[in-house]
Amino acid sequence: MNVTVGGRSKPFRTVTFDQARNAVRLIDQRLLPHTFRIVSLGDFGQTAQAIRDMVVRGAGAIGATAAYGLAQGARAFRGRGLARFWRHAQTVYQTIKAARPTAVDPVSAMDRVRAAMRAGKTVQEQQALAIAAAEEFANEDVRHCQEIGRHGAKLIRQGMNILTHCNAGWLAFVDVGSATAPMYAAQAQGRAFHVYCDETRPRSQGSTLTAWELDQQHISHQIIADNAAGHLMQRGRIDLVIVGSDRTLGRTGEVANKIGTYSKAVLARRHRLPFYVAIPLSTIDWNLKSGFDIPIEQRDESEVLGAWGVVEGPRAEGGGRPASPSRPLAGQGLRAKAGLRVYVRVGNPGSGALNPGFDVTPPELITGIITPAGIFRPGDLWANRRQLGYPSQLWTCAPEKVP
C-alpha cells in the first residue's frame, strides 16, 4: 500500500529482505502512527526479537518475517556438511518459533521453507532454496489478501458502518491485509462507507495502526473505546463486523484473535449482526482439535498498567494545536519535548495485571470466514480442506535428519 511521508506517497511492504546484507527489513510498528521508520535486522536472533517485541506483528507479517528469518539464519551458516547445517537450521527454527506462540503463520511459513530446502543437494543449494521459498511465501501472502478482498468486497454496501477490532490490515500482512482487504476492494469499486476502529487495549493497535492505515487510504473512520461497540450496535450504528485471526482451526472453525474479539462476536450475535473473519490459508491450523489447545500468549503486565504515547505541547485556549514545543511531565518537575515517545503509568502503583494477548471465538458466533478460496461457514472448513490448502500445508520435514 502507499504511505505518504514528507508529502510524498510511495508503496511499501511491511517486510522485505535485503539479500546483499542478509538482512530482514521491517516497518517498526511500535512507532506508528507518529513515526514511520524502517529497521534492518542483521541476524536471525534480532529477527526473532523483533517478532517478540512486536516491531512486527500480525499473522501474515510475522509469517513472512519468520520465513525470511529462517532463510537469513540458513544463509549465515559458514560450515560444511548437511548434518551440521540442519542442526543449525533447527536452532534458527526453534528460536523464531518461540517468539510468538499463539500465531500459526510463523510455523506454517518456516515449514514451507524447510520443505523447499530439502530439494537441495548441498548447503549452498539449500541456502538458495530457502530465500526463494521465503520470497514466495511473502508474495503468496499478498495474493491471498487480494483474493480475500475480491471475495469480501461484496459484503460491503454503499453507506455501511463497519466495525473492526485490532489491526488485520496491510500492516499485519505483507500488503493489503485480511479484514481491511474487502474495504480496500470496495473503495476501489467506488463504494463509500464508514469504519469504527476499536482502540484494542492494551496495545491499542486499532487506534494506532488501523486508524493510521485508513487515514493513509482516505477511508472514513473513527476510533472508539473498546466498550463503546455494544452501545453503537444497540443504536443501529453498526451494520457489519470484520476481524482477522491469528489461528483458525480447520477441524472446528474456532478462531483465535486479539483479546476482545470474542466479546465483539457475542455482542454481534446479541444484535443479529453479521460477524466475519478474514484469513489467508496460512492461518488455518489443520492439526489442533480444540480451541482450548491453542497456546494463549501471556504478555507483560506493563501493557495493561500503562501506555506508550507521544508528548504533545500544551494546547491553546479552546483546543487546537500545541502552543509550545515542550510541556512538564506531571509530578516529576521535568520538561519533555513535544514528539518524545514516553511510557506513562496509568494503573494503581501497588497493583499487578493479567494480560492474555488473545481469546478464542467459537464457530457458532461466526457468520462466515473469508478466505482466498471464497467465503465459508466455520463448520465447512474441514469438508472443503482440499480447496483450502490441505494437506499441502502439512509439511512433515524432520530437521534433525539430513535430506
> pLDDT for 288-342, tens place per residue?
999 999 999 999 999 999 999 988 765 534 444 444 444 455 545 556 677 788 9
* Residue 385 in domain: no
Confidence category of residue 5, pLDDT binned at 50, 70, 90: confident
- 33 and 54 inside one domain: yes
- 238 and 367 inside one domain: yes
Q: Say how far apart CA 256 and CA 250 lie, in whole Å.
A: 12
Between β-strands 15-18 and 23-27, what pairing exists: parallel, antiparallel or unpaired? antiparallel
Which tens digit of pLDDT belongs to each residue from 94-152?
999 999 888 889 999 999 999 999 999 999 999 999 999 999 999 999 999 999 999 99
Sign of the four-CA dihedral 50, 51, 53, 55: positive
Residue from 111, 175, 198, 246 carrying the catalytic annotation: 246
Domain boundary at 106, 129, 146, which? 146
Structural domains in the chain (count): 3
* Residue 387 in domain: no
- 275 and 182 inside one domain: yes
Q: Which residue has the higher pLDDT, 337 or 259?
A: 259
- 71 and 115 inside one domain: yes
Rounded mean pLDDT, 204-218: 96
- 268 and 203 inside one domain: yes
* Residue 77 in domain: yes
* Residue 3 in domain: no
Confidence category of residue 390, pLDDT binned at 50, 70, 90: confident
- What's 20's DSSP letter? T
Q: Say how far apart CA 371 and CA 373 lie, in whole Å.
A: 5
- 223 and 370 inside one domain: yes
69: nearest Cα among 142, 17, 28, 105: 17
Domain at 32, CATH number: 1.20.120.420
* Residue 399 in domain: no
- 126 and 182 inside one domain: no
Model pLDDT, residue 102: 82
* Residue 2 in domain: no
* Residue 397 in domain: no
Q: Say how far apart CA 221 and CA 289 lie, in whole Å.
A: 38
Residues 6+ apart with CB under 8 A from 88: 73, 74, 77, 79
Cell of 48: 526473532
Q: Say how far apart CA 54 and CA 76 lie, in whole Å.
A: 24
**Does position 395 have pLDDT exceeding 70, yes or no?**
no
- 94 and 200 inside one domain: no
Model pLDDT, residue 397: 40
**Does position 356 have pLDDT exceeding 70, yes or no?**
yes
Confidence category of residue 381, pLDDT binned at 50, 70, 90: very high
- 123 and 211 inside one domain: no
Confidence category of residue 222, pLDDT binned at 50, 70, 90: very high
- What's 155's DSSP letter? G
Domain at 194, CATH number: 3.40.50.10470
- Find the domain containing 341 and state its range: 302-345
Size of the chain, expressed as the number of residues it contains:
403
- 124 and 82 inside one domain: yes
* Residue 398 in domain: no
Q: Say how far apart CA 313 and CA 329 lie, in whole Å.
A: 11
- pLDDT, the chain, mean: 91
- 166 and 124 inside one domain: no
- 67 and 22 inside one domain: yes
167: nearest Cα among 300, 263, 270, 260: 260
Whether 246 sits among the annotated catalytic residues: the reply is yes
